[in-house]
Chains A and B, each alone.
Chain A
Amino acid sequence: MARALIRVPPRARRGEVIEIKALVSHIMETGFRHDQYGKSIPRDIIQLFTCSYNGAEIFRARFYPAIAANPFISFTTIATESGTLRFEWSGDNGFTASESAAITVE
């Protein structure tokens, strides 16, 4: 069950700096661990997170094996216009997750 939790302020003044929080459910298996029989556990991580604001990319982050499970990202942007923020995660084994949130700018 891929699931994400997004926090975007529903309203903002034009030009205001807004904080965005994004939490996604993922095991982030490093690929460096072994099971109880000594067999290597294959890597399974998210590799890329992007956020776009009305189609234009405003934030991008590459994820690496040292990032904990259920990665949480928080960043800021400037509220320029009303519209949609779209969040996308992609990674190993064809993992994809996406979520969007609407914002009204006055």
Chain B
Amino acid sequence: MASAVAFGDERRSGYEFMSRESQAMQDDDAANPAMLWALDGEALWKSGAPACSSCHADMKGVAARYPAFDARLKKPVTLEQRINLCRTEKQGSAPFKYESKELLSLSAYIALQSRGLPIALAEDAATRPFIDAGKALYEKRQGQLNMSCAQCHDQYSGRKLAGSVIPQAHPTGYPLYRLEWQTLGSLERRLRGCLAGIRAQPYEYGAPELVELELYLKARARGMKLDAPAVRP
């Protein structure tokens, strides 16, 4: 499962920073608790009228392309937002709440189908300004600790924060089962946790800032293999 790293590429996914026990937990689908969500997602995918499966056949590679620019909304949308757009516009039902069991299950089921594929974010002129905005946010100092994402995850990655290794912040495994959370969570939850950690006011779920940050992180991890739904400490 360890992603083959091209010569000269010093990027490492969070998987490579984990203990062997956590890696074994992720590698074995019978031990990876995230698979419980993926199974629920599969059931949800095939249920309802109309069901997701009545329009979409195969979602292979879809998660690798998100967040993606939506030409009609003129902004990028995350996979979770796309699921809810489909629900409100195509299925005529209420959107799922962020971090709800249903939304996480569906995104886990969709992400699972892109497992092992490289992150393939679009690099067109429409997406570019949003990636740049995400980069600016990533490098912006904020919060009472006056820190930027880049300070921890570029400058000090591989070193320790309390007892844990600081990873390089490549979002290859989301949604993922975090042992600390004891549940599955999205990248937005992780980002909000980091913001609270530097004592900044976290952006609301679905806020454009979080979408831009996700977009930049995915662009930064372009080409790295997805291992979703992953396990992380």
Q: Which residues of A approach B to under 8 Å, CB–CB?
A: 1, 3, 5-7, 21, 23, 25, 27-28, 68-70, 72, 74
Contact = CB atoms under 8 A, between A and B. Distances in A.
A67 B190 CA distance: 24
Contact of B31 (A23, A25, A27, A28): A23
B36 interface: yes
A68 B179 CA distance: 9
B183 A69 contact: yes
B176 to A, nearest CB: 13
A1 B104 CA distance: 14
B44 to A, nearest CB: 10
Contacts, number: 35
A72 B35 CA distance: 12
B182 A3 contact: no
Contact of B36 (A5, A7, A28, A74): A5
A68 B33 CA distance: 11
18 contacts: A1-B40, A1-B101, A3-B39, A3-B40, A5-B35, A5-B36, A5-B39, A6-B30, A21-B28, A21-B31, A25-B33, A25-B36, A68-B182, A69-B182, A70-B36, A70-B182, A72-B31, A74-B31
Interface of B: 28-31, 33, 35-36, 39-40, 101, 179, 182-183
B30 A5 contact: yes
A99 B182 CA distance: 23
A34 B120 CA distance: 43
Contact of B30 (A3, A23, A68): A23
B101 A23 contact: no
B51 to A, nearest CB: 17
A72 B33 contact: yes
Contacts of B28: 21
A7 B30 contact: yes
A22 B214 CA distance: 34
A78 B168 CA distance: 45
Contacts of B36: 3, 5, 23, 25, 70
A82 B35 CA distance: 28
A70 B31 CA distance: 10
Contact of B33 (A6, A21, A70, A74): A70
Nearest to A28: B182
Contacts of A27: 182
A49 to B, nearest CB: 15
A23 B36 CA distance: 9
B181 to A, nearest CB: 9
A56 to B, nearest CB: 23
A5 to B, nearest CB: 6
A27 B101 CA distance: 12
A7 B35 CA distance: 13
